Chain A
């Protein structure tokens, strides 16, 4: 089946630095990818929709200048957390529509970000 590869799985950084998370669709093309964020014991919250060849669409309350999204190709989307702060520590998960009619979201393994 379709596989979404996400890297890195874990990252620890100092406050004020930037971190890039990559999301790749393996063996299929994804014109659209979705970035979610999940706090401990909380639900997945959609941050933004990444569109190949155009600007990302951000959900209300998500700072687009802080969470930079680039959909460089049909198989790669990146999320860069700029000037990270401890409150940005979270589990970030990307996903892509897959299957017949793109009905199902297939998720990457997630990236655990810890900002010191």
Chain B
């Protein structure tokens, strides 16, 4: 089966940096994705890693270590609007581009 773990909740203050970790154990690996989901809304794509290393995109960065089955999402200069659930998802090799999602990390940014 597939197992994707991430913390349930995290809190941080505005302007700070927060790192959200994700570990995975899957039958195969074909990429790791991070999505942001605000309450009652659909997830929106943040980042994609398929090779080891760091991918930076503005205030958001994502890191992957395939040998360790580990990724993190780094959010810098936190803003109140960053309060949301952050979903780690893994794509396993198959005929389709399906993703298996973790339970999500609810991030609360306070003033």
Contacts and interface: CB of A to CB of B under 8 A. Distances in A.
Interface in A79-116: 91, 93, 97, 102-110, 112
A83 to B, nearest CB: 26
Interface in B36-53: 40-45, 48
Chain B contact-residue range equals 20 to 34
B98 interface: yes
B78 interface: no
User: Chain A contact residues: over half helix, strand or loop, or mixed?
Assistant: strand
Contacts of B101: 43-45
Given A32-B97, A105-B45, A43 B103 contact: yes
Nearest to A32: B96
B42 to A, nearest CB: 4
B102 A106 contact: no
Interface of A: 6, 32, 34, 41-46, 49, 57, 91, 93, 97, 102-110, 112
Interface string B95-111: 01111111110100000
Given A43-B102, A43-B103, A103-B31, A110 B41 contact: yes
A113 to B, nearest CB: 13
Given A43-B87, A49-B98, A109-B42, 10 more contacts: A32-B97, A41-B106, A43-B103, A46-B98, A49-B96, A102-B97, A104-B48, A105-B97, A107-B44, A110-B41
A45 B98 CA distance: 11
Contacts of A45: 101
